[in-house]
Structure 1
Amino acid sequence: MHLPSPLRLFRIVATAEAVTWTLLVVGMVLKYVTKTTELGVRVGGMLHGVVFIAYVLTCVALWVDQRWSPRTALTALASAIPPWLTLWFERRVERDHLVGQQWRLGTGGQRPASAPERVLAAALARPLLGLVVALVGIAAVTAVLLVVGPPVPKS
């Protein structure tokens, strides 16, 4: 399995996050403005939730691998909250060279020095297994959030 570069992976996930934001916003317009269907919110909301979790996981991996400062990492994570801001952040990351073309902890790269680096290095050394573990993690978080449900307003 060919592993995408950190920059390419971030670009893909940041764009997917923005696209799913668009689906959710369109769904909310259909539900709350035109009052025609709830389907857009159900489908767009689920897709957006799954991609949001993938975006967070990608940001954490890049934080570890690219040695982002806490400020950069928190900005990356916060950019997923307002619609479409991940596109701005992705361009900023590329412009400021905050994400490289190579994985620092990838095969033949630097030796991991901490527990998070060892976990990421293991995932990068076995990309198919790392992808499966990431997908299982995303599915598990999604399942837990579905069971917990949305916050209930206090009356």
Structure 2
Amino acid sequence: MSMMSIRAATPRDREAIRLVEEHAFGQQAEAGLVDALVGGGDTVLELVAVDEGQVVGHILFSRLAVSNGGKSFPAVALAPLAVEPSFHGTGIGGALVREAHLRLKEAGEKLAIVLGDPAYYGRFGYSHQRAAGFDSDYQGEALQALAWGEAPEGGQLVYAPAFSALAA
């Protein structure tokens, strides 16, 4: 890895992001999710990792609500995180997560949710224990949460509409 940089995604990156998602996951579902989240206006933060002018990594956080007792608390959902397979193991995924967390905290976000490998996301502070009190179609060991301050510990997780299409 030479001069890798991380920056906000731009409309010019759409095709490159689609390719990274398809290569990383070996299917089109995650790329479709990204398109639907961006198209639906549900994106809170979207970053790309660029190496020698090529997009080699991508992370997206979308708006998520925690509904509890008639109240709604804004949170974010990390999905997806993707790195070109030829760049796996180079630290790009971790760099994207860390940079995104810095930006989200600066923006005042208090709670992030991810559905993923506990061993991987646990390195960044996510835990199932923190997410165990939430009602979700995705509840299980892979559902993890990370809080940066006062945030609900229970309630119904309400994902952006694009996630319903992914589960269908």
Structure ranking higher on relative contact order (CA contacts 8 Å, 6+ apart): 1
TM-score (normalised: structure 2): 0.24
Q: TM-score, normalised by structure 1?
A: 0.26
- Structure (1/2) with the larger strand percentage: 2
Whichever structure has more helix as a proportion of its residues is 1
Structure number with bigger Rg: 1
